[in-house]
Structure 1
Amino acid sequence: MIARTWRGWASKATADDYQRHYESEVAGHLQQVPGFCGARLLRRYDGEEVMFTSITFFTSMDDVRAFAGEDPGQAVVEETARRALTRWDERVTHHEVAADLHGDGH
């Protein structure tokens, strides 16, 4: 499994807008990609901004390319996200998932 990690920052005023976009539009898009295995959106205050870290999981790099295109290291930042964010990473990182541990859901 491949983990794709990306970060973006929003003002405190637009952070909820970005989170809603991720939970609706991004989620809908990802669920249509073959090999999509799930995603997590992490959120924390970073000074005057809110930093988001998105971790999406795919079965293989071929599945990542189906989502991101021929340059899988290029960030996919839709126009709605660009309006809510103040800045973002233009490049993403990919990692092989070495261990996949699940708790009891708490």
Structure 2
Amino acid sequence: MIARIWHGKTNKSKFDEYSAILEKIAIPDYQKTDGFKGLTFLRNIVGDEAHFNLITYWENMEVIKNFAGEDFEKAKYYPIDNDYLLEFEEKVQHYEVFASITI
């Protein structure tokens, strides 16, 4: 299994609003890709910025390419992100998942 990790940030004032956007737009987009295994959304506020870390889990790298395209290391953004994100990080990170436990 492969974990794909994305980071984004908004103004603190848009913390809850952008969270709702992610739930409404991003999560259904991931779920419609065969080989998607799950996700973890993390968020926090640091100073005046709201940070979002998204960890998605995928069957393998080919599945990620089906979702993100051949340039699978490039971050995928949605048009509405222009109204929220303070910057657009170009790349995401990928890690092989060798152990995972949830309680």
RMSD of aligned alpha carbons: 1.0
**In 2: Cα distance, 1:57 partner to 1:81 partner:** 22
The match for 1:53 is 53
Unaligned ranges ≥5, structure 2: none
Tell me the SS of whatever aligns to 1:88: coil
The match for 1:66 is 66
Tell me the SS of whatever aligns to 2:51: strand
Aligned residues: 103
**In 2: Cα distance, 1:101 partner to 1:82 partner:** 35
**In 2: Cα distance, 1:92 partner to 1:82 partner:** 18
Unaligned ranges ≥5, structure 1: none
Deviations 1:51-87 (A, max 9, x none): 1101000000001001100100000011112311112
The match for 1:44 is 44
Q: Trace 1:1-106 onto structure 2 (pairs within 5 A).
A: 1-103=1-103
Tell me the SS of whatever aligns to 2:87: strand
**Kept in 2: contact 1:15–1:85 (CA 8 A):** no
**In 2: Cα distance, 1:88 partner to 1:39 partner:** 21
**In 2: Cα distance, 1:60 partner to 1:17 partner:** 32
4+ residue runs of structure 1 moved beyond 3 angstroms? none
TM-score calculated relative to the size of structure 1: 0.92
TM-score calculated relative to the size of structure 2: 0.94
